[in-house]
């Protein structure tokens, strides 16, 4: 089992981080009453913590731990993570705000745009923490 985890460590760290963040997000939605139990809700974008941030931070730390900070794969992962975090907190957050404005301007019978798209810096930061914790835990398994 340890050999399998070690061999696929970056992949396992990334997807375990994403899955953990998604489960945490769903539990928080259920606790606050924002969502009902629904398999579609397990795949929603937006919310606390960011699954995108968890996935890329888990991947980046796992590559750093397994390949080293001076490796090319780590550099690629770090740049990729920065792009994803910028997109999640910047561009997608702006799209969510624009969707909210458009939804207020359209008649009630029109199909509403999703306002649950981007992340606040706190949501992205929480996702990063989840990714770092999961990648660290798996590294020491």
Question: What pLDDT does residue 1 have?
Answer: 61
Instruction: Give the range among 82-86, 113-117, 122-126 with minimum mean pLDDT.
Output: 113-117
**Residue 41 DSSP label:** G
Confidence band, pLDDT 50/70/90 cuts, at residue 65: very high
- Assign residue 33 a region: left if phi > 0, alpha if psi is -120 to 50, beta otherwise? left
Alpha helix segments (H runs only) across the chain: 2-7, 9-32, 51-67, 72-86, 92-105, 121-139
Residue 37 is predicted with a pLDDT of 57
| 53 vs 61: CA distance, rounded Å | 12
Q: What is the pLDDT of residues 72-106, one digit of tens each?
A: 999 999 999 999 988 888 776 677 777 778 787 77
pLDDT in tens, 16-63: 999 999 989 888 877 877 655 555 555 666 678 889 899 999 999 999
How many distinct structural domains can be found in the chain?
1
Domain limits at 51? 2-139
Q: How many residues does the chain have?
A: 141
pTM value is 0.80
């Amino acid at each position: 089992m340890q050999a399998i985890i070690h061999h696929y460590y970056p992949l396992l760290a990334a997807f375990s981080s994403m899955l953990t963040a998604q489960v945490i997000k769903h539990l928080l939605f259920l606790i606050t009453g924002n969502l009902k139990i629904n398999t579609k809700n397990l795949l929603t974008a937006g919310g606390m913590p960011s699954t995108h941030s968890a996935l890329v931070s888990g991947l980046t730390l796992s590559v750093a731990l397994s390949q080293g900070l001076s490796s090319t794969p780590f550099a690629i992962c770090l740049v990729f993570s920065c792009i994803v975090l910028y997109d999640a907190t910047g561009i997608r957050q702006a799209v969510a705000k624009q969707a909210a404005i458009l939804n207020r301007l359209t008649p009630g019978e029109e199909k509403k745009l999703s306002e649950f798209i981007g992340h606040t810096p706190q949501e992205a930061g929480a996702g990063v923490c989840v990714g770092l914790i999961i990648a660290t835990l798996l590294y020491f398994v």
